[in-house]
Amino acid sequence: MQGSSGECSRAVRRVVRVGGAVVMITPTVILAATQPWHDEPPQRFLTVSGILLIVLVAQLFAMLVMTGRTAELAATTLLGAALSALVVTTFWIVPGLSAPGLPEHPGLALVAVEAGAVFAAVLAVVSTRDVRQAVLAALWAGAVGCYLLVVAALLAFTFVPASVPQAQGRTASASAAAAERLAGNPVETPDGYLLLLLVALVLSVVASLAVPLTRSVVLPRRRAAWGHVGRP
């Protein structure tokens, strides 16, 4: 029984690890490859791509820590956090693919990410009765959700002109290419969404540190308490 359970856990960890890497790396590579590198000046695109790379590395490291065997996280914790991030990203991006486009400012996006993190935490604590699992689920769901929202928004701005916010004072028409519309008005630039990358970076670092810290502090106390209760 324990063997089959452990095998299932290994399978779940492998699925989350491979699937998460594909979901995060693929759109990032596409986004970097489709940047208008020949435009002048190219510094902005270099900066954006550099920030994305740094945050992506932090995300992948956090995923390796979260899916590690020593993290002792339940399948519902891992799957709930990953799926909540995907659902939040989908529900945020899809309606904005048509006019009037995605919101100019990421404030509501952050609220959506927080809602997904709360859902992941509730799912984890209900299924495991473990506050540690809930905290880690919320941290990871928030980190992945913020990153996917930014990457998905930048991809939408690149390939779907209608997703570019139609801000007041727009100088390019709605039928113009996304690059033209973005360049035509500084208000329409997606720089606001880049703030979410900072949140994603912070949450991924905190999650990576929280896994070993909570394991070394919480689990020994819990096992000691179980041993005390089990004594005659």
What confidence category does residue 20 fall into, taking pLDDT thresholds of 50, 70 and 90? very high
Q: What is the pLDDT of residue 182?
A: 53
Dist. CA 73–CA 211, nearest whole Å? 9
Dist. CA 183–CA 185, nearest whole Å? 6
6-65-77-140 Cα dihedral, nearest 10 degrees: -170
Say what percent of the chain tops pLDDT 90. 48
Residue 186 CB neighbour total at 10 angstroms? 10
pLDDT greater at residue 225 or residue 61: 61
Average pLDDT over residues 109-125: 95
Count Cα neighbours of 42 within 13 Å in the Cβ-side half-sphere.
Answer: 10
227: pLDDT strictly greater than 90:
no
231: pLDDT strictly greater than 60:
no
Where do the H-state alpha helices sit in 34-74? 43-66
What confidence category does residue 99 fall into, taking pLDDT thresholds of 50, 70 and 90? confident
Residues 6+ apart with CB under 8 A from 188: 104, 164, 165, 166, 167, 170, 181, 182
For the ranges 22-31, 96-105, 198-207, the lowest mean pLDDT is seen at 96-105
Average pLDDT over residues 205-210: 96
SS3 of residue 185 by DSSP: coil
Q: What is the pLDDT of residue 4?
A: 37
Q: What is the pLDDT of residue 43?
A: 67
Q: What is the pLDDT of residue 186?
A: 37
